[in-house]
Chains A and B, each alone.
Chain A
């Protein structure tokens, strides 16, 4: 928020995400929105909005192509992430999966998350201080695994719908119907969750409003870092490793570009929430 002051020397910032992680998240946004928009045209085909968007996209066949291309992209993102995890394991955790998965910065839920969840709820209702969150909060971990789950469930059923002739060589035909229900409802869940809960938790939540661009820039002011993740900050300071993570802030033009992209994604997401509410509440049949 203070980044626009171009005439000032920019103070170094804390690096939270690597270049690859940022790229993958950006690609994830693109593919997710593409999948959601094209998929929803079918799910809510009874609304005039759906027909309008389908036409804009060049018809159901072209929308279908976009959907499948975006799905492939998302698979690619997923695979790239797994490869990156593997690299991380080798480079940072001396080749041990156990250390990666059970270590301090793990993405897996652990006892500490449970404690933080309880402490958070207490804080929410005013009977305790704000928990001193570490590198990954429990809601961030939830979002992370929601994607895993989503890619597995939506991806698997999506493949069945993509290649029904192949799958029905083995599976009964009615499983395709089951697959469509799962695919469609899980997608609705994912879309709805990302565009409301995730948007709020990371962007729209008042202290971050209107958005937190750390996932795009990969870096954040130290003060903000200190406030958001005090446990991690303190540990880094204690270990004297904070300076290892300090990088130069981006040029304002980069920030502006990133914001434009983020605004677009946020806008589309919000629009889709409205569309879903309209379709499910007012136009449902």
Chain B
């Protein structure tokens, strides 16, 4: 009652103000209430219209009765229900298209799943297409359509739709990726191909996706696509004789664009018309011949010329006239190009150093092969020779290098890695690039280098992972050993390029020198013991550093986990001395007799023995030296007596030949 009275007053005022039609405010007097509802088919239906969202909609300027036309001039409150709003009053074309479309025809059939205008556009809150919040804005279209056309929806389950996983496939396609992932709103959405209102099955000749019309639909965006599809079409044939030519979707599946059924490189033939000429030369004399067979056998066989020589463009003279830039491999190999740019090679190239290797230097040009193909220069077994082209002693990279590594290639070839790779053909063996990386090689002084001290364990650990794990727990690793001194990494003991078998004699003997570089004093004392002396003689059977201390799991002897901790030391000795006991382990393996504080017994024993030795020699030597002149005198007298004796015998004439001999030999020693 009161509402009726109020409405009357409002209408009266309205009439007074504008004349005939009802004001929106009149409608909102009731419909602006959030709890304004009605009963329809036994259900409670809200009749609320948000003034705010209507005010923000495209129809904000319109009166309610413009759409709800059957209320024109009616008394308020009005009778219910009202007629359905006819959008076609204003949107005639769309109405007609919709009526003829799949959606419209379904609606006409009374299909309850058929979409009306409001299914897609909404009702009072219709927003402009340009508003990102609109359900029909480009970014929202796939989801708006997807409400019905996604797996599991009522439409997909109950109606015959010839495609499946439409929304998923679309979102992974290049179109979907452009739109949804990159936010490129000009990337095609559903409506771009299917149209917004004129949606027809592809069997309908009028459909935008009918075989005859596909080319037209696609070329809306791919305007000059004929230019690169010359093998399939010639000029306008695609449109004229669409029935005999493959349509776009025959190769580029609908919704799955990019998962293609076609081979690329169709325009290559154009390039080859000139470049197959063996004598073709550039103006500066560079050969411009391209071996088509080589290209066909290459890793890039399916890549079109223009994908690498990307400057190609439509040109009145020659397409390649527009090429000004060198091939940029980074266009496809983005990450690798990034790595390369950071590498020493890349930095040199950026400085336009003539020695800098570009991609081509290692990978080759048109005949580029994958690294798993044995004839590729980047095949594991060929890498040492590849790098050697510059890094062999005397070559351009080697002459610039001032570090400690020399004869790298030769040393590597003889190393365990080199033998494994080159002699045994074990392609998983470490080659140059395994340690130095393929595209990110840097001098070892660079903290980002894979061969920088800090990174060496991880680099070697790529293959020797178990050892890396062991090493990371050892006192030599920076995580465990806290010292200002430089801790060793793999190559300090194993070297970089001359890595040997650790079970070979050379390595075993050498390791003591390696340990001794840092542990000088203690290594020296080792050589004072039997173990060390035998090792020094060149035999490996006695205990060496790692036999007792462990190799990669080396720990402080005070650490209970150390091989030499109180708990473990007897067991460690028993590796070689099966009868070893706790007392046996008391043997001083690093004994020195030069330290009276630490080893008083040894010190005093040594000096006691030395004293005895010196004393004995002094007494014995002095006695001998004192004796010497008398002994000489005795010898002289003896010789003289002998000579005299022989002379007498000769005088007696008993032995004529003898005296001469005696005389001749007699005095000699005496003179000496």
Contacts and interface: CB of A to CB of B under 8 A. Distances in A.
B485 interface: no
B537 A124 contact: no
Interface residues of A, number: 51
A45 B536 contact: yes
B632 interface: yes
A169 interface: yes
B609 A186 contact: yes
Contacts, number: 143
Given A45-B534, A178-B601, A165 B580 contact: yes
A10 B584 CA distance: 62
List of 3 A-B pairs having minimum Cβ-Cβ separation, nearest first = A173-B586, A165-B579, A185-B609
A184 B84 CA distance: 119
25 contacts: A41-B537, A45-B533, A45-B537, A46-B536, A50-B537, A124-B626, A125-B626, A130-B634, A165-B577, A169-B583, A174-B601, A176-B587, A177-B587, A177-B588, A182-B609, A189-B609, A189-B613, A192-B613, A193-B616, A193-B617, A193-B620, A201-B627, A206-B669, A207-B634, A209-B635
A153 to B, nearest CB: 10
A201 B626 CA distance: 12
B404 to A, nearest CB: 26
Given A50-B537, A61-B539, A180-B529, 18 more contacts: A42-B533, A46-B536, A61-B541, A123-B630, A124-B626, A165-B580, A166-B579, A168-B580, A173-B584, A173-B586, A173-B588, A174-B588, A177-B588, A181-B593, A197-B623, A205-B627, A207-B631, A227-B638
Interface in A200-234: 200-201, 205-207, 209, 227
B99 interface: no
Contacts of B631: 205-207
A206 B586 CA distance: 52
B297 to A, nearest CB: 58
Contacts of A172: 583, 586
Contacts of B586: 168, 172-174
Interface in A29-43: 41-43
Nearest to B578: A165
B628 interface: yes
Given A168-B583, A171-B583, A181-B593, A207 B638 contact: yes
Interface in A223-267: 227
B602 A181 contact: yes
Nearest to A173: B586
Interface stretch (A14-22, A51-59, A103-111): A51-59
Contacts of B605: 178, 181-182
Given A54-B537, A173-B584, A206 B616 contact: no
Interface in B160-201: none
Contact of A168 (B542, B584, B610, B629): B584
A280 B629 CA distance: 29
A276 B578 CA distance: 35
Contacts of A188: 613
Interface centre among A169, A176, A193 (most CB of B within 10 A): A176
A6 B149 CA distance: 131
A165 B584 contact: yes
A173 B585 contact: yes
Contacts of A121: 626
Interface in B547-590: 577-581, 583-588
A95 interface: no
A125 to B, nearest CB: 7
B534 A42 contact: yes
Interface centre among A61, A164, A170, A188 (most CB of B within 10 A): A164
A51 B588 contact: no
Interface centre among A181, A186, A205 (most CB of B within 10 A): A181
A161 B628 CA distance: 40
Contacts of A51: 536-538
Interface in A99-150: 120-121, 123-125, 130, 139
A162 to B, nearest CB: 11
B115 to A, nearest CB: 95
A12 to B, nearest CB: 19
B475 to A, nearest CB: 24
B591 interface: yes
Contacts of B538: 51, 54-55
A60 interface: yes
B interface residue count range (under 10 / 10 to 19 / 20 to 34 / 35 or more): 35 or more
B621 A197 contact: yes
B539 A168 contact: no
A124 B587 contact: no
B654 to A, nearest CB: 11
Contacts of B580: 165, 168
B624 interface: yes
B502 to A, nearest CB: 21
Given A124-B630, A181-B602, A207-B634, A60 B581 contact: no
Contacts of B48: none
A168 B616 CA distance: 32
Nearest to B535: A45
B609 A165 contact: no
B606 interface: yes
Nearest to A172: B586
B530 interface: yes
Interface centre among A54, A180, A206 (most CB of B within 10 A): A206
A189 B612 contact: yes
Nearest to B658: A5
B666 to A, nearest CB: 11
Nearest to B615: A189
A185 B613 contact: yes
B379 interface: no
A177 B617 contact: no
Interface string B489-533: 000000000000000000000000000000000000001011011
B606 A185 contact: yes
Contacts of B593: 181
A4 to B, nearest CB: 11
B613 A165 contact: no
A182 to B, nearest CB: 6
Contacts of A174: 586-588, 591, 599, 601-602
A205 B625 CA distance: 10
Contacts of A170: 583
Contacts of B527: 45-46
B518 to A, nearest CB: 19
Nearest to A169: B581
A123 B542 CA distance: 55
Contacts of A139: 623
Nearest to B585: A173
Contact of B669 (A50, A182, A192, A209): A209
A152 B605 CA distance: 17
Interface centre among A169, A180, A197 (most CB of B within 10 A): A180
Contacts of B530: 42, 161, 180
Contacts of A209: 635, 669
Contacts of B638: 207, 227
A201 B279 CA distance: 98
